[in-house]
């Protein structure tokens, strides 16, 4: 399956400009049908705490754009959107669409970034979710989730073979980003896709460094601090063979994960 990581320099709180930029970047390359396209966290607005200004209903303009993009490219699609709950607090969501444009799931970020004030504006999610993506069972995550390995272990215990992390991860901690993506792949014997943004917003500089990591921790494709695409192919048979030949996941003491 082809993976396309779309690394764009997000225009602050300007959805139409970001929709256009995604289309421009994807037009530069061949996107194979039945592949996976991944966009960053809050790709349409940037990492904004202004929930009132940027939130949308489940079927709002950003969802409509993503639905159309998935259907036109015949691709699975993971991208960041923002909604608001009945409590008037935001939800930082990884939305997933099928190649037919169907909304498959909306994962709410389980670990809002407290040091950046996200906890003051956004409510934490409570469930690790999975979806079928070609031959893979995949699980989406958002940015700060990456620092919490227990979330990824739960996904692995649910059978996930592909872990997708969308982010607005700042440049001053870029080494952590790269190291943790490889660690999550190695410890869960899974492919990990990390898609971050480059450029800057009113508060932070961002390094890009979107990458695809195989179950052994090898980086298959990577882009540094410019806009562009990372494209590579992944194969579920690689995960299955490694888990069979080196069955570390079978040795997990599942008592630590009661209820999974």
**CATH code, domain with 150:** 3.60.110.10
179 Cβ contact partners less than 8 Å away, ≥ 6 residues apart: none
Domain assignment of residue 127, yes or no? yes
Task: Provide the domain count of the chain.
Answer: 1
Domain assignment of residue 260, yes or no? no
Catalytic residue among 41, 56, 118, 161: 41
**Whether 41 is catalytic:** yes
Domain assignment of residue 132, yes or no? yes
Domain assignment of residue 259, yes or no? no
Ranges of the chain with pLDDT below 50: none
* pLDDT score recorded for residue 93: 98
Domain assignment of residue 44, yes or no? yes
Place of tokens 């966290």: 41
Q: Is the pTM of this model over 0.95?
A: yes
Catalytic residue among 56, 109, 118, 161: 109
Domain assignment of residue 59, yes or no? yes
Domain assignment of residue 103, yes or no? yes
**Whether 109 is catalytic:** yes
Residue ranges making up the domain that contains 217: 2-251
* pLDDT score recorded for residue 256: 79
**Whether 254 is catalytic:** no
Domain assignment of residue 125, yes or no? yes
Q: What is the pLDDT of residues 62-95, one digit of tens each?
A: 999 999 999 999 999 999 999 999 898 999 999 9
What SS3 string covers 55-121? Answer: CCCCCCHHHHHHHHHHHHHCCEEEEEEEEECCCCCEEEEEEEECCCCCEEEEEECCCCCHHHCHHHC
Catalytic residue among 110, 143, 161, 227: 143
Q: What is the pLDDT of residues 24-72, one digit of tens each?
A: 999 999 999 999 999 999 999 999 999 999 999 999 999 999 999 999 9
């Amino acid at each position: 399956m082809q993976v396309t990581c779309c690394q764009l320099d997000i225009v602050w709180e300007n959805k139409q400009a970001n929709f256009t930029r995604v289309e421009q970047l994807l037009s530069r390359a061949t996107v194979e049908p039945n592949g996976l396209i991944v966009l960053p966290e809050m790709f349409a607005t940037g990492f904004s705490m202004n929930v009132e200004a940027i939130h949308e209903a489940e079927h709002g303009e950003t969802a409509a754009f993503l639905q159309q993009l998935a259907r036109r490219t015949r691709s699975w699609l993971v991208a960041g959107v923002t909604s608001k709950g009945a409590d008037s607090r935001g939800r930082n969501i990884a939305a997933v669409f099928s190649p037919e444009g169907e909304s498959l799931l909306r994962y709410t970020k389980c670990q809002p970034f407290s040091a950046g004030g996200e906890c003051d504006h956004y409510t934490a999610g409570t469930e690790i979710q999975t979806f079928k993506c070609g031959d893979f069972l995949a699980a989406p995550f958002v940015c700060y989730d990456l620092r919490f390995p227990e979330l990824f272990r739960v996904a692995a215990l649910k059978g996930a073979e592909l872990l997708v992390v969308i982010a607005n991860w700042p440049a001053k901690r870029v080494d952590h980003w790269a190291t943790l993506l490889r660690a999550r792949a190695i410890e869960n014997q899974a492919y990990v896709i990390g898609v971050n943004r480059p450029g800057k917003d009113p508060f932070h500089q961002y390094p890009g460094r979107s990458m695809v990591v195989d179950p052994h921790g090898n980086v298959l494709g990577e882009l540094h601090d410019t806009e562009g695409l990372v494209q590579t192919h992944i194969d579920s048979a690689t995960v299955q063979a490694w888990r069979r030949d080196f069955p570390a996941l079978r040795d997990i003491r599942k008592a630590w994960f009661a209820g999974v």
